[in-house]
A and B are shown apart, each in its own frame.
Chain A
Amino acid sequence: AQSVTQPDIHITVSEGASLELRCNYSYGATPYLFWYVQSPGQGLQLLLKYFSGDTLVQGIKGFEAEFKRSQSSFNLRKPSVHWSDAAEYFCAVGANAGGTSYGKLTFGQGTILTVHP
C-alpha cells in the first residue's frame, strides 16, 4: 500500500525567504505525485504534479518540485515566499493498480506554512 510522509508539521519563514517542504512516499511502482494547497476553510488547489519524464516540475504561483526516486522524495520549493503563500500544503500519491486505486489519492498529514512579514 502506498503512504506519504510530510515530516514537518509546521514551518515558519520570512517573506522573501526561500522555502522547501519535504515529502517522502512509499510505493512499489512509479508513483504519480501531487502537491495541493489549502487555505483555511477552502478546498484543495493543485499546485503541480509529476507523472513521468523531467524530474523537475513547475507549477503555479512560482512553485516547483523535484522527484528523486533514489530518495523516494518529492520536495516542494519556492525561491521567494510571499505572505499570500501562508496555507497548508499537502503531498499526495496516486496509483494505477486497478480497482483499489480508482479515484484514490493518499495524502500526507500536511505542512502548515506561516509567513512572517
Chain B
Amino acid sequence: KAGVTQTPRYLIKTRGQQVTLSCSPISGHRSVSWYQQTPGQGLQFLFEYFSETQRNKGNFPGRFSGRQFSNSRSEMNVSTLELGDSALYLCASTSRGGQGADTQYFGPGTRLTVL
C-alpha cells in the first residue's frame, strides 16, 4: 500500500500571498489530520477531516483553512501569508474513526518558506 503523499514537497512564497497544500491519505483511510511543525512551537495540531467534514480544529487563526474531498484527499490553504507561517506542514491519515486510539500515519511533509 502506498503511504501518505503530500505535494508539493517544497514551496517558497512571499508575504501576503496564499498557498494550497495537498495530502493524499493511505488508500481506505478516511480521517486526515494536519499539523504545523516549527522549531519554536514544535508540532501543533491544525485540524482534522473525516468524510468531507471538519470535526476538530486547533488554535490557529482563520487564515488557515482546509477541506476534504469525497476520495478522502485533503487540502489546506493559508491566506495572507506571514513570515511566521514558515514551517513544515505534515498531514496524517488514520484507518478508523480518527479518535485518540487510532494510529496516525504521517506523510513526508511540505516545507513552506515565506519570504
Contacts and interface: CB of A to CB of B under 8 A. Distances in A.
A93 B101 CA distance: 9
B48 A103 contact: yes
Interface string B21-54: 0000000000111010000001101011110000
Nearest to B3: A43
**Chain B's interface: helix, strand, loop or mixed, by majority?**
strand
Nearest to B99: A96
A94 B99 CA distance: 8
Contact of B98 (A43, A90, A102, A110): A102
A98 to B, nearest CB: 9
A42 B108 contact: yes
Contacts of B56: 99-104
Interface residues of B, number: 32
Contacts of A42: 108-109
A46 B49 CA distance: 21
Nearest to B91: A43
Given A41-B111, A43-B90, A107-B42, A101 B106 contact: no
A34 B107 contact: no
B55 interface: yes
A48 B56 CA distance: 25
Interface in A12-57: 31-32, 34, 36, 41-46, 49, 51
Contact of A90 (B33, B43, B50, B100): B43
10 closest A-B pairs by beta carbon, nearest first, are A103-B48, A94-B100, A103-B33, A43-B106, A107-B43, A95-B100, A44-B106, A102-B56, A102-B55, A103-B98
